[in-house]
């Protein structure tokens, strides 16, 4: 009964209307910003290393732009980059990767808009700057109840649903490689996560800025070696992706709807553009201009999807270690690796094994531990900031706020253990529900407030032009 209810809810939230809204809004933002994700690519990279603004006594107001980038990237780079890509191929065919690219390219402009607005409407808390969609909904639109509702949805989505997806993928990989019981891996992950999140935002930012670049680079190096080993298959893989993406290939004609839907869903799940999570982190940064943080976060979408997700996809497709299923009937349409069945994490593990025999399971399992751990740190920060937003400006709020934060901590850690112990099918549907809930509200609000982000971009570009003329 529970699984049927979640499936119905998932189908309602992820109707074709949401796909049209996400892609349409991203295209609109790209046009309005004159494709800032291309025009200002160099400034994107330079914005990553802008120093944090400091107060009169020399202390930082918030985290640096690079720390905020790493925190947001830690939320974006997770199980979606390893298992999410595999599920996109399994249920949408190779063509789903093309639609992941599309949503990432145009979605970078969405990330710019939401992160710029998050900076514009951030508020000061005893722990540093906080904010995000709930803040620009409340202060930009003047609708507090909707801001509170969004904060509650973040707590539900990122505090209960999405942690289960992350923990499940990690537990499945560790069980495949080391026969580690899911309960043990779930409890271990919850314990380590608890040690970090109790330290607060500065601790999370410090860990993310060290671990995230290291894990992303290490993963990319291994995938590059695997792809290089299968280099002769690469041209055929790109042809397969394109023909499948538009239903030209005979296989893709019957599942074209699933191809587009899975590409968009898994792309959004991975890079979070439009969900609002990256905007929550963006608000914590202390930068000299809101648009600078918008540019930095737009670049993180590129890193997540166009680099890391693409590396995983090419590795799987070049090695041929995948199957394709009809999402409606469950029929196996392509059986390149029938022994793997629907073991999605196994696709990635087998791809690495095709070059490093016996090493694939170990490597992917270790990579997932890092990816999942950093994603859960980001999810906690999203939830904690949402609680602070709910209590902002209320008398005697600090005591009630602290109680709610502790309840949220235990809930999140409990859902990590729950997710590790349950089957992947229902877990991924829960994750999709969590992503879709916040995306609906956030993207509509972004369309309304977009002119303010455009104005901020124009102000930044004008100031840069004046500086260059001097």
- Which range of 75-89, 160-174, 214-228 scores highest in mean pLDDT? It is 214-228
Q: Would you say residue 5 lies in a domain?
A: no
When mean pLDDT is compared across 85-99, 165-179, 216-230, 447-461, the lowest value belongs to 165-179
> Which pLDDT score, from 0 to 100, does residue 58 have?
44
Beta-carbon-side half-sphere exposure of residue 6 (alpha carbons within 13 Å): 14
Is residue 397 domain-resident?
yes
What is the value of pTM for the model shown?
0.86
Per-residue pLDDT tens over the stretch 419-441: 888 765 666 676 677 778 888 99
Confidence tier at 56 by pLDDT (50, 70, 90): very low
Where in the sequence is the domain holding 208, given as residue range(s)?
13-458
Between 380 and 333, the higher pLDDT residue: 380
pLDDT of res. 387: 94
How many structural domains is the chain composed of? Answer: 1
- pLDDT reading at 53 higher than 80: no
Distance CA 81, CA 122 (A): 30
Short-list 300, 295, 301, 306, CA closest to 220: 306
Of 157, 122, 164, which is closest to residue 389 (Cα–Cα)? Answer: 122
Question: Which residue in 378, 351, 375 sits closest to 363, CA to CA?
Answer: 351
Higher pLDDT, residue 433 or 302: 302
| Mean pLDDT of all residues in 102-117 | 92
Question: Mean of the per-residue pLDDT values for the chain?
Answer: 84
Per-residue confidence band for 469, with pLDDT thresholds at 50, 70 and 90: low
> Among residues of the chain, what percentage have pLDDT more than 90?
32
Residue 172 lies in a domain: yes
The predicted pLDDT at position 59 comes to 47
Tell me if 469 is assigned to some domain: no
Q: What is the pLDDT of residues 219-268, one digit of tens each?
A: 888 899 999 999 999 999 999 999 888 876 555 555 667 788 778 777 77
pLDDT attached to residue 266: 73
Is 2 inside any structural domain?
no
Position 275 scores a pLDDT of 81
Domain-located, residue 465 = no
Q: What's the token pair of residue 247?
A: 């239903």
Question: From CA 13, how far away is CA 77, in angstroms rounded?
Answer: 24
What is the DSSP pairing of strand 128-130 with strand 323-325?
A: unpaired
Domain-embedded: residue 122? yes
**Contacts for 462 with CB less than 8 Å, ≥ 6 apart:** none
| Backbone phi and psi for residue 65, each to the nearest 5 degrees, phi listed first | -60, -40
What pLDDT does residue 385 have?
A: 92
CATH code of the domain containing 336: 1.20.1740.10
Query: Quick check: is 7 in a domain?
Result: no
Instruction: Tell me how far the alpha carbon of residue 205 is from its chain's centroid.
Output: 17
Percent of the chain topping pLDDT 70: 89
- Residue pLDDT, tens place only, 349-402: 889 998 988 887 788 788 888 888 888 888 899 999 999 999 875 656 788 899
- Among the listed residues 261, 256, 234, the one whose alpha carbon sits nearest the alpha carbon of residue 245: 256
164 vs 434: CA distance, rounded Å: 11
């Amino acid at each position: 009964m529970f699984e049927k209810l979640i499936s119905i809810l998932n189908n309602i939230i992820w109707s074709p209307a949401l796909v049209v809204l996400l892609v349409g809004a991203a295209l609109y933002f790209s046009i309005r910003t004159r494709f800032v994700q291309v025009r200002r690519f160099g400034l994107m990279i330079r914005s990553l290393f802008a120093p944090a603004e400091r107060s009169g006594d020399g202390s930082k107001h918030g985290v640096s732009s690079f720390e905020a980038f790493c925190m947001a990237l830690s939320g974006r780079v997770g199980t979606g980059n390893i298992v999410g890509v595999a599920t996109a191929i399994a249920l949408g065919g190779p063509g789903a990767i093309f639609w992941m690219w599309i949503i990432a390219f145009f979605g970078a402009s969405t990330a710019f808009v939401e992160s710029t607005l998050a900076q514009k409407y951030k508020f000061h808390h005893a722990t540093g700057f906080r904010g995000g969609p709930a803040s620009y909904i409340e202060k930009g639109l003047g609708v507090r109840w909707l801001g509170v509702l969004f904060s509650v949805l973040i707590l539900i989505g990122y505090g209960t649903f999405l942690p289960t997806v992350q923990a499940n993928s990690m537990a499945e990989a560790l069980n495949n490689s080391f026969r580690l019981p899911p309960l043990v891996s779930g409890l271990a992950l919850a314990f380590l996560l608890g040690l970090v999140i109790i330290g607060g935002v500065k601790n999370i930012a410090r860990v993310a800025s060290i671990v995230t670049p290291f894990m992303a680079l290490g993963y990319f190096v291994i995938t590059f070696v695997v792809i290089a080993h299968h280099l002769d298959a690469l041209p055929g893989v790109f042809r397969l992706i394109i023909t499948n993406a538009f239903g030209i290939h005979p296989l893709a004609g019957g599942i074209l709807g699933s191809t587009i839907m899975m590409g968009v869903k898994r792309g959004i799940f991975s890079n979070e553009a439009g969900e609002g999570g990256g905007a929550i982190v963006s608000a914590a940064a202390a930068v000299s201009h809101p648009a600078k943080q918008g540019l930095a976060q737009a670049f993180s979408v590129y890193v997540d999807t166009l680099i890391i997700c693409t590396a995983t996809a090419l590795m799987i497709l070049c090695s041929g270690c995948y199957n394709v299923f009809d999402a409606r009937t469950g029929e196996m349409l392509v059986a390149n690796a029938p022994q793997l069945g629907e073991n999605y994490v196994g696709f990635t593990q087998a791809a690495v094994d095709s070059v490093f025999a016996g090493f694939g399971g170990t490597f992917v399992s270790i990579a997932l531990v890092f990816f999942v751990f950093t994603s859960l740190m980001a999810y906690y920060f999203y939830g904690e900031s949402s609680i602070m937003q709910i209590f902002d400006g209320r008398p005697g709020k600090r005591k009630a706020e602290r109680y709610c934060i502790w309840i949220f901590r235990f809930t999140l850690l409990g859902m990590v253990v729950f997710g590790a112990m349950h089957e992947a099918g229902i877990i991924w549907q829960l994750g999709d529900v969590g992503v879709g809930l916040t995306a609906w509200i956030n993207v509509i609000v972004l369309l309304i407030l977009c002119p303010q982000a455009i104005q901020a971009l124009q102000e930044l570009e004008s100031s840069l032009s004046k500086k260059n003329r001097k």
